[in-house]
Chain A
Amino acid sequence: MTRLTGGVIDHETALRFTFNGKTYSGRKGDTLASALLANGVQLVGRSFKYHRPRGVLSAGSEEPNALVTLRGGAREEPNTRATVTELFDGLVARSQNHVGPLHRDVMAVNDLLSPLFASGFYYKTFMWPRAFWEKLYEPLIRHAAGLGRLSGEADPDAYDKGFLHCDLLVIGGGAAGLAAALAAGRAGVKVILADEDFQFGGRLLAETHQLDGMPATSWVTAVMAELSGLENVRLMPRTTVFGAYDHGIYGAVERVSDHVSAADGEVRQTLWRITAKRSVLAAGATERHIPFPNNDRPGIMLAGAMRAYANRWAASPTRHPSDPVIIFTNNDDGHRTATDLLAKGVPVTAVVDPRDDAPTFGAYELITGVVDDTKGRLGLTSVRVTQNGQSRWMPCGALGVSGGWNPNVHLSSHHRSKPVWDEALLAFVPGKDLPNGMIVAGAAVGQGTTAKALRSGMEAAVSSLAALGISAERIDLPDADDTAAAQTAFWHVSRKGRAWVDFQNDVTVKDIVLAHQENMRPVEHLKRWTTLGMATDQGKTSNISALAVMAELTGKSLPETGTTIFRPPYTGVTLSVLGGGDTGKHFRPTRYTPTHQWSASQGATFVEVGAWLRAQYFVQPGETHWRQSVDREVLAVRRGVGLCDVTTLGKIDVQGPDAAEFLNRIYCNMMGTLAVGRVRYGLMLREDGHAYDDGTCARLSENHFVVTTTTANAALVYRNMEFARQCLWPDLNVSLISTTDAWAQIAVAGPNSRTLLSRVVDGFDLSNEVFPFMACAELTVCGGLRARLFRISFSGELAYEIAVPARYGNALMERLAQVGADLGATPYGTEALGVMRIEKGHAAGSELNGQTTAQMLSLGRMVSEKKDSIGAVMSRREGLAQDKRRLVGFRPVDKSEAIVAGSHLFTQGETRNTTTDQGWITSAAYSPHVGSSIAIGFLEEGDARMGEVVIAANPLEGREVRVEVVSPHFVDPEGGRLRD
């Protein structure tokens, strides 16, 4: 146990947790990493490629080493950074990526073979024999690769999604962020302050310097108290702003209940889309290490992290309290760790600093030199220090390394703004063309001292508000006692042996040298060749060091060598939360037809049709196969009368003095000449001349039409009609509105349909003379209920469609079935509907698939030459005009055989390949009327091949059928029935 005193943890509240099955005790306010360190645990994981033993490197979200699998069962959460995992009672964690126990990983053999695994090696081998790649080499690689493991079970937790709007979004709650939030908060504007940490304060919680002579933490406490009292300020701890998107929109994830042991039903995380007029990026900075041989042992840690663990979490980095600590730094900031640790009673034996003019700040030995090797496979035991050529091994339980600090510019470059090199800071800072409205403040822009951070944060807020025309008071800032840390450009220790640059992906200085040698010098080539910066930390701790090494090799300056921009997300985001709360059955909304309840009561089986759920067929007692139900329904329509809910067809209300002219331009055929009280079939083309939708158009009065569209295209047709109205012909006086949902529409089809309807209409004359085929009328039914009646037929039988206000649809359907019982009134679903339209050769989705033309549908004559309409001109292009494929019918020569849609058509005796392909079957069904399978489809010069026998080939399912080319009208080709 190496727990120290003080810090901002609650020493009184102990939390029990287990790591690799062993139970430990931590404190409230701990992270998993700080708790493990406080328990003397240094070895926490293995590296990706060489399976090197690894310990905690950092104290933040940049952690490349301390990745664990959290929780268990379906809640198992791989690759979780122990350094940002808030400890809770009962937490269970396991280390990853090892075979056998963590301290005896058999995969560590890779480390011995490391020379074979130099960067890019796999591009150069595994090529022979060819077959071995998928069979042997790749499976081996795949199983070796990867870090954590998914449970394989569905994520059981609840997630939420939401939208926030504010004047100022402050990203990061450290010194700069708090000053910004306070200044803006006092100005009364709407502020959101978000921090990925569970405690606001940032580095102020990790440092010992004072504000106004008091510990910085007490200033933080006071500020938080004031902010939480402000109505206009929303405090969002445990919230990572992961991406900057266009026009001030930010993606953020709030970890609502990740810090408690899973509570069912409670939201785990919430995805917030934040729209901010202005933003202040105060994300702080990330410390970089210094590559030197064997710099990756457990116990070697960033100096700033070491300081944070001691000051904030009262945890010593060593396994035993008496183990000596050494610091290796190229800057003054590293020395601060030595003094802070000494103050906590941790034995710091030396600070190794390559600078000749390195100062001393406390009672430790200052060695002007470098650390160039280490010992301690599972935990650091000693380091080799070299001073003017003289090397000595020094016992060491933990080594703190500081190579300077990199501003966290990530979000500032999400719009591809290139960071620029600041020679004074020896770091990249945000460049120009930042995301609109963003100001970067504090350590994120190199203003690293507390005093500068506070000021730049406040100033950022003030100028942000000024840009909104709001003048905010400057606030009094506390006096900070820290001073800028001097540093020198010292990038790595070049000695024999492997010096790690990217810890997780095991990229060493040698790999960079090799990349240079093989001309993989542009930074993107370097990264892709060596996998540098591709690990879960996305190079937060490695990119700059790597650039520096490459710069040294090419003799170019570091900025000349290149920079790297970052892309969202800033840190890993749970896929579940991006997917939102509603999944499974609620992935997309479901539309129910007005007669759904009744259909269900009649034993309907339902089917998804776009967003709709429609009755597919109605199984009656004794029916064991769906075909029996469908055949029965079809015959019922052909012999008696059937009822089908056709509400799903789109309905668009078109009104105005120019409605007729407008429709003339929308439909390829004449519509303006339609008489009042009549309906006409209409075909719509896209402007590129292809057919895309069809339906009926009814003229209710001189200036009032109702257009029906196919179910699939309802929204599209409406959109296109609005485009024509607003953008193409604004001079036409017409108005449009959708009424699809307002009316429940029921098809009443079959020889008995007139008789049936006569029993519900209120004294309306349905006789052929008064209400012939393609007539329409507004009337009342069932004692005064307003309704619309259309005499149209999809089935080819005498048929009507009747529409009533949607709330009455269910009752009307019930009534029709009831009063039509003696007439054989039978509900039918989409299957029977499909069979009957195929029997009549009506085109539907499979024929109107956007690739076909009016001509192919044998509707070429409909494209009027007398007028212009959408698509008319382009439909006359050579390629369309000369397309000889035609929609025809097919019957199997052997009645017992079934034709299947998707079969391709070939001339008998012809070899079968792409060039001899003659067409395809679009729709097929068993026709109880014909007594065999029938089909329709497109065939080259089909209209001229009636009676010819062709092959419908379906090798995909090993079938082929000889079929006769026939008219697509299998039922009543003369159309007598629907006119009777």
Chain B
Amino acid sequence: MRYSGFRVIKEALLGQKGWRPLWRDPEPQPRYDYVIVGGGGHGLATAYYLAKTFQKSRIAVLEKGWLGSGNIGRNTTIIRSNYLLPGNEPFYEFSMKLWENLEQETNFNSMVSQRGIINLIHTDAQRDAYRRRGNAMLFAGADAQLLSPNELREMVPFLNYDNARFPIKGGLLQRRAGTARHDGVAWGYARGADMRGVDIIQNCEVTGMRIEGGKVLGVETSRGYIAAGKVGVAVAGSSSRVMSMAGMRLPIESHVLQAFVSEGLKPVIPGVITFGAGHFYVSQSDKGGLVFGGDIDGYNSYAQRGNLPVVEDVLEGGMALMPMIGRARLLRSWGGVMDMSMDGSPIIDRTSVDGLYFNGGWCYGGFKATPASGFAFAHLLATDRPHETATAYRLDRFARGYLIDEKGVGAQPNLH
């Protein structure tokens, strides 16, 4: 069924009787050519592109809970391609271009909203670093703009310019960046994949992998054994747990990242703003809530909840940066489990097990990568060759020393 404004009007007049389920709830088949483990954004996007772009069939997505219940369902919805390093920037720019056509691609309004992102500059050294980054973005075909203090004041007059501990000296702007409705992204891909015959199987947890002679044959699940030609794992947050079923240890730690939303307010913040001298970034959702976050709690955790010090740290930053939000109220906080990799960058690669493919290590940047990650993973699964924008995301880069360390903090996941 095709969605459109006319359809909405028609159904309104007909008492909404004609709407069909967004996706089926199929019983698992005994065998699939492609089994994607993980019904989050990346897994669903992978299945979608496998079916649509790479014309593959007999595809299943196995989700242990409800689809979209992973980090796609709990993030701060930011999309951007403002990376520095050559291993990253072309990939995220590819993702941005996919975002820009996502609604037309999936016929589902995921509310991709390019209202821009501003990274604030507080020191001369930071300006040099952002100049290097902005130029890297331009050379990769992305957009970037260095804002003078005056240009910045015009765009976001409500920042604390005059009484700041760390003066605001400008910003790096990416106009094409912005936000998207996180659940809508998962639902759009899920609906699109389902329409193309992909079996999305919810409440189906993978409990083991059947591997013989160095080749994966299928997966054991809470709903029985499912044979597979190829298995693609995209379970950010649980990567170590799932890959250990194949006897692998990963350059990944799981950490909790908290995020926050305020009560609904009339529009005050145009795009996304990130503080360069504290842990705080913020945007405002279409419903009016200020959506903001900061640093990870910093200790290994699978608990999906954080602690008070980070809440205070984030709001200290928020109040220092924009004291005009002070009288709004925090409505809700939540915590997601992040795959923090050893260099802060993701992995999309084959593994030592034939037929087993891995996609993970997204740290807290997974949402913006969803379309490209799905596309690149589908490309790898379908062709056994990495997508041209994802060639650096190899699993062996750590052993061989080809790291993609945007922050330059080394092999300590909680610092990335």
Interface residues of A (CB under 8 A from B): 48, 75-79, 115-116, 118, 121-128, 130, 133-134, 138, 141-143, 145-155, 157, 161, 243, 245-246, 249, 251, 271, 273, 414-416, 510, 514, 517-520, 522, 524-525, 528, 531, 534-536, 538, 567-569, 572-576, 578-580, 583-588, 590, 607-609, 686-690, 692, 845-846, 849-851, 874, 877-881, 900-904, 912-915, 917, 920-923, 953-957
Contacts and interface: CB of A to CB of B under 8 A. Distances in A.
Contact of A588 (B145, B165, B325): B165
Given A567-B334, A579-B319, A851 B8 contact: no
A567 B329 contact: no
Contacts of A692: 410
A900 B131 contact: yes
Contacts of B122: 608
B324 A152 contact: yes
User: 8 closest pairs, A vs B, by CB?
Assistant: A850-B408, A902-B131, A146-B288, A879-B401, A155-B326, A877-B401, A572-B329, A579-B319
A138 B66 contact: no
A690 B132 CA distance: 20
Interface in B138-164: 138-141, 144-146, 158, 160, 163-164
Nearest to A514: B16
Nearest to B145: A956
Contacts of A157: 326
16 contacts: A123-B110, A124-B109, A142-B286, A145-B288, A147-B266, A154-B323, A415-B305, A514-B19, A519-B22, A567-B305, A580-B316, A587-B278, A877-B399, A878-B402, A955-B138, A957-B146
B329 A122 contact: no
Interface in B288-339: 288, 303-305, 307-308, 311-312, 315-320, 323-334
Max chain A C-beta neighbours (<10 A), residue from B21, B308, B399: B308
A914 B320 CA distance: 37
B319 A575 contact: yes
A846 B128 contact: yes
A134 B315 CA distance: 29
Given A148-B265, A517-B21, A879-B402, A130 B103 contact: yes
B214 interface: no
A913 B139 contact: yes
Nearest to A524: B66
A153 B323 CA distance: 8
B38 interface: no
A904 B263 contact: no
Interface string B28-52: 0000000000000000000000000
B332 A567 contact: yes
B204 to A, nearest CB: 13
Contacts of A415: 303, 305
B144 A124 contact: no
Contacts of A585: 163-165
Contacts of B332: 538, 567-569
Interface in B250-265: 262-265
Contacts of A519: 21-25
B247 interface: no
Contacts of A141: 286
B286 A914 contact: no
Contacts of B133: 902
Contact of B266 (A149, A414, A586, A850): A149
A714 B163 CA distance: 28
B275 to A, nearest CB: 10
A904 B21 contact: no
Nearest to B165: A587
A505 B5 CA distance: 22
Contact of B316 (A125, A587, A881, A954): A587
Nearest to B90: A914
A416 B315 contact: no
Given A608-B167, A686-B410, A686-B411, A587 B323 contact: no
Interface residues of B, number: 120
Nearest to A578: B315
Contacts of B15: 115
A91 to B, nearest CB: 16
B136 A115 contact: no
Given A155-B326, A914-B136, A851 B107 contact: no
Interface stretch (B112-120, B205-213, B227-235, B369-377): B112-120
B308 A147 contact: no
B266 A148 contact: yes
B287 A128 contact: no
Given A150-B328, A575-B328, A689-B401, A155 B323 contact: yes
A920 B132 contact: yes
B54 interface: no
Nearest to B182: A528
Contact of B4 (A127, A130, A567): A127
Nearest to B389: A914
A150 B318 CA distance: 15
Contacts of B123: 607-609
A901 B268 contact: no
Max chain A C-beta neighbours (<10 A), residue from B22, B107, B113, B202: B22
Contact of A133 (B111, B264, B319, B400): B111
B177 to A, nearest CB: 12
Given A518-B21, A569-B333, A956-B131, 19 more contacts: A116-B8, A123-B109, A133-B103, A138-B286, A150-B265, A150-B266, A151-B324, A152-B268, A522-B65, A535-B264, A572-B330, A573-B329, A575-B318, A579-B319, A688-B410, A845-B125, A877-B400, A900-B128, A956-B144
A192 B65 CA distance: 40
A118 B12 contact: yes
B160 A584 contact: yes
B265 to A, nearest CB: 5
B267 interface: yes
B227 to A, nearest CB: 27
Contacts of B73: 524, 528
B183 interface: yes
A878 B401 CA distance: 6
Given A125-B4, A588-B165, A134 B114 contact: yes
Max chain B C-beta neighbours (<10 A), residue from A75, A534, A851, A917: A851
A575 B325 contact: yes
A923 B125 CA distance: 9
B80 to A, nearest CB: 16
Nearest to B332: A567
B7 interface: yes
B372 to A, nearest CB: 15
Contacts of B248: none
Contact of A130 (B104, B264, B284): B104
Contacts of B305: 414-416, 567
B287 A145 contact: yes
B327 A150 contact: yes
A849 B406 CA distance: 10
Nearest to B172: A956
B89 interface: yes
